[in-house]
Amino acid sequence: MSLTVVGSVAFDSVETPAAKRDRMLGGAATHFALAASFFDDVHVVGVVGDDFTAEHESVLTSHKIDIADIERVEGGKTFFWAGRYHDNMNSRDTLDTQLNVFETFEPKLSEASKNAETLFLANIVPAIQLGVLEQCEKATFTAVDSMDLWINIAKEDLLKVIAKVDCIILNDEEIEMLTGKGTIVSAAQALLDLGPSIVVAKQGKYGAGVITKEGSFWLPAYPLHEVADPTGAGDSFAGGFVGYLAAHPERPITLEVLRRAMAYGSAVASFNVEEFGTDRVSRLTGPEVVARVKELAAITQFDDTTQVDLRR
């Protein structure tokens, strides 16, 4: 089995109150692929300039991630983003965005990428997502991410994408913005009516929830003593979540399987933010992920069977 991700490969410069790092390997497809590589063969479809070196390639290929569909534009420069996080690490300012070769990105999918059973459309122009969806007819599970920018300027295209995918993964505030609903439950139910059978609401440092017609499941983020760099946490989460589902191909997907997918996504994401860029997830091991999933279970579960005498 295999999993194709289409999205940005980038260089990120990140400032936090504690430190600063320049031009680290980043981008949604990069963080997603590293997380998903715990679960399945991953093909990355993206574009880079000739500033993307063998060293950058090896971050992906050392985890058996297929980079044949990362197009290299000679004389071009890779997508660059710079940002600064505020004190509590939950909000940030973008200092610089240079789309470079990503501005004219036209995903070119090999047969291997087209034939993947699982497809993840990372956050890019909805019209491009739509084109990729049409090329990947064999995918039995498709998921999409997006952002407020596309809700504001390309909502119609985005709704076409949403109508075709099995799963949408968005920040909770974006789900509310997209649907005009005031609670995440009512907003998610509005999205379920548009086509997807699974809605994932990312809640930043607070965790995430998954909502289906069968019910919902909510998981707090793993509580870290220190956060070095939140960049890519959402993509790592999506990579672990979608990767887990790719590796468990029984369909339809039950809420029971979704719960565990959420836990694995959340575990990988919690490692991602412990260090800058891809540093931590690059050297992360399976047993570490499994141990953190067990910790997540331990700090979120309680015994509801104890008899309590209520006076009213």
Binding site for its own copies (CB under 8 A): 17, 37-40, 63-64, 87-89, 173, 176, 182-186, 189, 203, 206-207, 209, 215-220, 223-227, 244, 247, 256, 259-260, 262-264, 284-286, 289-290, 293-294, 296-304, 306, 308-312
Tokens of residue 259, six digits = 């719960």
Residue 306 CB, shortest distance to its own copies, in Å, is 6
DSSP SS3 for 35 = helix
Q: Report d(CA 71, CA 305) in Å as an integer.
A: 56
Beta-ladder partners of 73: 49
Residue 16 CB, shortest distance to its own copies, in Å, is 9
Which strands form 10-15's sheet, in the order they lie side by side? 20-26, 10-15, 79-85, 92-98
Dump strand ranges (E) for the chain.
2-6, 10-15, 20-26, 41-49, 70-73, 79-85, 92-98, 118-121, 141-145, 167-171, 198-202, 207-212, 215-220
Residue 40 CB, shortest distance to its own copies, in Å, is 8
Q: How far is CA 96 from CA 56, 80, 149, 234, 305, in A?
A: 21, 8, 16, 20, 53
For its own copies, give the closer residue by CB, 165 or 273: 273
The residue length of the chain stands at 312
CB atoms within 10 A of CB 23: 15
Residue 136 CB, shortest distance to its own copies, in Å, is 22
Residue 260 CB, shortest distance to its own copies, in Å, is 6
CA 86, chain centre distance (Å): 22
CB atoms within 10 A of CB 96: 9
Residue 138 CB, shortest distance to its own copies, in Å, is 22
Residue 219 CB, shortest distance to its own copies, in Å, is 7
Q: Say whether the peptide bond before residue 252 is cis (omega within 30 degrees of 0).
A: yes
Residue 284 CB, shortest distance to its own copies, in Å, is 7
Taking only Cα atoms into account, the Rg of the chain, rounded to an integer number of angstroms, comes to 19
For its own copies, give the closer residue by CB, 36 or 161: 36
Among candidates 11, 68, 2, 3, which has minimal Cα distance to 232? 11
Q: Report d(CA 269, CA 264) in Å as an integer.
A: 9
For its own copies, give the closer residue by CB, 106 or 302: 302
